[in-house]
Structure 1
Amino acid sequence: MFIQRRNSTILEAAGTTLSLIYHQTVYDLRTAHRNAVVGLLLTILQSGIFIGAFLLMFVIIGIRQSPIRADFIMFIMSGIFLYMTHVQTVGAVSNSHSVSGGLIKHEPLNPAVLIAAAALAVLYRQTISFLTILWLYHVLVNPVAIADPVGCLAMYLLAWFSGVCVGLIFLGIRPWSPQTSKILTTIYQRVNMFASGKMFVANVLPNFMLPWFIWNPLFHVIDQERGYMFINYTPHKTYPLYALWFSLAALMVGLLINFSTRKYESISWGATQ
């Protein structure tokens, strides 16, 4: 009972780590709501309300047709799905663990497991939510036709991965200044409401406005995803490799901050919080 099991091979260590990630992911999912089914239904409802709110806004301002020759609802969903996955992953990773937390005191767990579990929990919830909404739309409203499903899936995973990398940076800042990290995370999520480009098409964006959006990896991912989803749209102003290189750079910066912080982080830092 009190003897810690030691792994003798790399395969055993990998299996132990994957098992820890799985159980911690389940724990994160059950933390959101005591009933797992109700938690998924709430996530689906949240996404549906978001889609309905944007549709109502477009109808009120007089926009009733998609700027792309495609289904207007699919155009809205193509931006909202990736936006919600990205910003919720940023928030989950940035709050995944703390040195003063109870779970981190258990030896089998480590920050990498908690970060991976937080990110995978968001990916699981959002994937189930989006597949359910697409299925309901396909059955009840209009058949769903996607030109390149593999490309859409790749952009969806890239939006999630970029959220993990950005969240790592905010997680590294958190021990030094929790309030600053929280404020920066909120600002980043709110800025992406507009800067992600989910409400318009990048090809019709004037060149003088392009610098306001081109820095954002989510802007590139959403536009490229629409290129894969709709056969009548070809992105000209965005590049998927930019989002990938940006994510890898953010990952390196986040790991450097977290490794440097771990050398000095102390439980006493949270005593005044």
Structure 2
Amino acid sequence: MNTRLAPAQTPIATQAKRRFASFRAIAALMLREMTTTYGKSPGGYAWAVLEPVAGVAILTYAFSFLFAKPPLGTSFELFYATGTLPFFMFTTISNRVSTAILFSKPLLAYPAVTFVDALIARFAVNLFTELFVFYLVMVGILALYDTRAVVDVPHVAMSLALTALFALGVGVLNSYLFLRWHIWHVAWAIISRPLFIISGAFFMYDALPAALREWLWYNPLIHVVGLMRSGFYPTYDDHYVMVSYVVGVSLGMILTGLFLLSGSIKTLLYEA
């Protein structure tokens, strides 16, 4: 009796099958993230928009009593939006990516789902959400107020890309640290609180003393905010912004986090 053996899969076919399985896993995780995070909460996506709007409104209301005009331009709303929106985008994405593996822990028991899939899915959902929020808030400000802004789309896009990349770097590295040392979750919450003050959201970098500027320059968010403001204020001098520095720091954290996770993910998930 003749029997036919199934042909062995080629490495290319195996890789293509794995990529397709990974794509399906990421898509499923993204749907789960959207349903869990926004689908079951009152107002859903409305809260994602209301939070940054409230932040800009509070800062505008408070500082309008202290100053006759904003530190840059003619609109308090635009000035604070160009500082707070990148910061809110960074904190939201980095915090969500930091807990992506813990959030998807039950699903990681399936061979088709990897920790990288969980990281990518949560990053993608929150990135799209934050970009949508940024667009809505900025269009609203430009339409309702006499900002006299001249939008430089490449600068704005670069600032958003750097914000997302830096948030991913912090999130990936923290996802390992959260699993490795549970106390780091609390420690990071304390350490990250001053970031809003030192990231240039409500002050001008050039207006600071030289000694303080030297220290704050190493904060990647200073560069992100500076690049964002240069995208709305043509006269703004962003000479201190170094894109390569932000990219280098972000990629360094991403690679370090992935390396640490790949070598210990099974042990960390068992102990978590």
User: TM-score normalised by the shorter chain: which range applies?
Assistant: 0.7 to 0.9
Shift of 1:104: 1.3
Worse overlay, 73-82 or 145-154 = 145-154
Matched, 1:208 2:217: no
SS in 2 for 1:38: coil
CA distance in 2, matches of 1:206, 1:59: 24
Q: Which residue of 1 aligns with 2:23?
A: 18
The offset of 1:187, in angstroms, is 2.8
Query: In 2 relative to 1, CA 64–37 (structure 1 residues): closer, same or farther, beyond 3 Å?
Result: farther
Question: Which stretch shifts more, 100-109 or 234-243?
Answer: 100-109
Q: Measured at CA, do residues 245 and 102 of structure 1 come closer, stay the same or move farther in structure 2, by a change above 3 Å?
A: same
Structure 2 unaligned residues grouped into runs of 5+: 1-8
Q: CA deviation at 1:37?
A: 9.6
- Mapped to 1, the partners of 2:26 and 2:15 lie a distance apart of 16
Count how many residue pairs are aligned between Structure 1 and Structure 2: 262
Q: TM-score, normalised by structure 1?
A: 0.86
Corresponding residue for residue 56 of structure 1:
61
Q: CA deviation at 1:76?
A: 0.7
Report 1:213-228 matches (<5 A): 213-228=216-231
- CA–CA separation in structure 2 for the residues paired with 1:100 and 1:67: 44
Q: Which has the larger radius of gyration?
A: 2
Corresponding residue number in structure 1 for 2:112: 108
Aligned mate of 1:34, from 26, 35, 39: 39
Asked if structure 1 preserves the Cα contact closer than 8 Å seen for 2:78 and 2:141, the reply is no
Aligned residue in 2 for 1:258: 261
Unpaired runs of 5+ residues, structure 1, are 1-5
Aligned partner of 1:230 in structure 2 is 233
1:209 aligned partner, one-letter code: L
**1:82 maps to which of 86, 91, 100:** 86
SS at match of 1:132: helix
Distance 2:157 2:248 in 1: 18
Q: Give, in angstroms, the shift of residue 181 of structure 1.
A: 2.3
Matched, 1:198 2:192: no
Please, what is the CA RMSD of the aligned residues?
Answer: 2.4
State the alpha-carbon separation in 2 of the partners of residues 45 and 9 from structure 1. Answer: 46
Measure, in 1, the Cα distance between the counterparts of 2:131 and 2:247.
21
Q: Which whole-Å CA distance do the structure 2 matches of 1:214 and 1:149 have between them?
A: 24
Shift of the 37–156 alpha-carbon distance from structure 1 to 2, 3 Å rule, reads: farther
Q: CA deviation at 1:12?
A: 4.2
Q: Distance in 2 between matches of 1:204 and 1:147?
A: 23
Whether the 8 Å contact between 1:21 and 1:114 is mirrored in structure 2 is yes
Q: Residue 46 of structure 1: SS of its match in structure 2?
A: helix
Bigger drift between 45-54 and 26-35 goes to 26-35
> Which whole-Å deviations, capped at 9, do the CAs of 1:159-198 have from their partners, x for residues lacking one?
11101101111111122222x2212331343121112111
For 1:119-134, list aligned pairs within 5 A: 119-134=123-138
